[in-house]
Amino acid sequence: MSWSRSLVLLAAAALLMGCGFRPLYGSGDAAETENELAAIQVRPIDNRIGQILHNHLIDLLTPRGRPRHVKYVLDVRLKETIARLGVQKSELATRANLRITAKFMLLSPSGSMLFNGQSVTISSFNILGSDDLATLVAEKDARARAVRQIASDLRTRIAAFFLRRQPRKTLNKQ
């Protein structure tokens, strides 16, 4: 039984290698990708939510501090909307979706665009009609969750971009 399971795993690994699959983390390319991420300067982002996203991105991309040699500049624009859901007969909403859209561009220091994209996240929260403070706290928590998710998504997308740009290393058989 265990040999058949091993055979299936080996076949799956062979298929993934044949289709161009490369792991993002845990490979020999991971150190190179980390070095590329550490060379990104994150431009300031408007508003308080932008400041929070900026700080998360700095923590994720350059955990050892500001880059010594800036090779890339990350520019992010945010848009936030709140949609009221769960309307009661009295026309009061009881639930809301907070949608944050982040459009980003990875630029060279000269300003030419290397990579761009968009990350969208939706985070829900309860609207408590009797307690405005609890609703405000729930909305703030939903915003914090959404910003953390966007920062993580941007880091993953940019790391995948750098990994795609790296030449594939082949094993030398001797």
Say whether pLDDT at 20 is over 60.
no
- Tell me the pLDDT tens digit for each residue of 30-53: 678 888 899 999 999 999 999 999
How many residues appear in the chain? 174
Instruction: Tell me if the pTM is above 0.85.
Output: no
Measured distance CA(145)–CA(19) in Å, rounded: 35
So where are the chain's domains?
27-165
Which tokens in the block code for residue 28?
Answer: 């020999």
- Tell me the pLDDT tens digit for each residue of 98-143: 999 999 999 998 889 999 999 999 999 988 877 789 889 999 999 9
Three-class SS state of 22: coil
Predicted confidence at residue 109, as pLDDT, reads 86
The alpha carbon of 83 is separated from its chain's Cα centroid by a whole number of angstroms, namely: 23
Region of poorest pLDDT, from 23-27, 101-105, 150-154: 23-27
Measured distance CA(52)–CA(45) in Å, rounded: 9
Predicted confidence at residue 66, as pLDDT, reads 83
- Number of helices (H), then strands (E), belonging to the chain: the values are 4, 4
- Tell me the pLDDT tens digit for each residue of 47-96: 999 999 999 999 999 888 888 889 999 999 999 999 888 666 566 668 89
Residue 142: count other Cβ atoms within 10 Å of its Cβ.
Answer: 21
Look at the domain 27-165 and name its fold.
Double Stranded RNA Binding Domain (3.30.160)
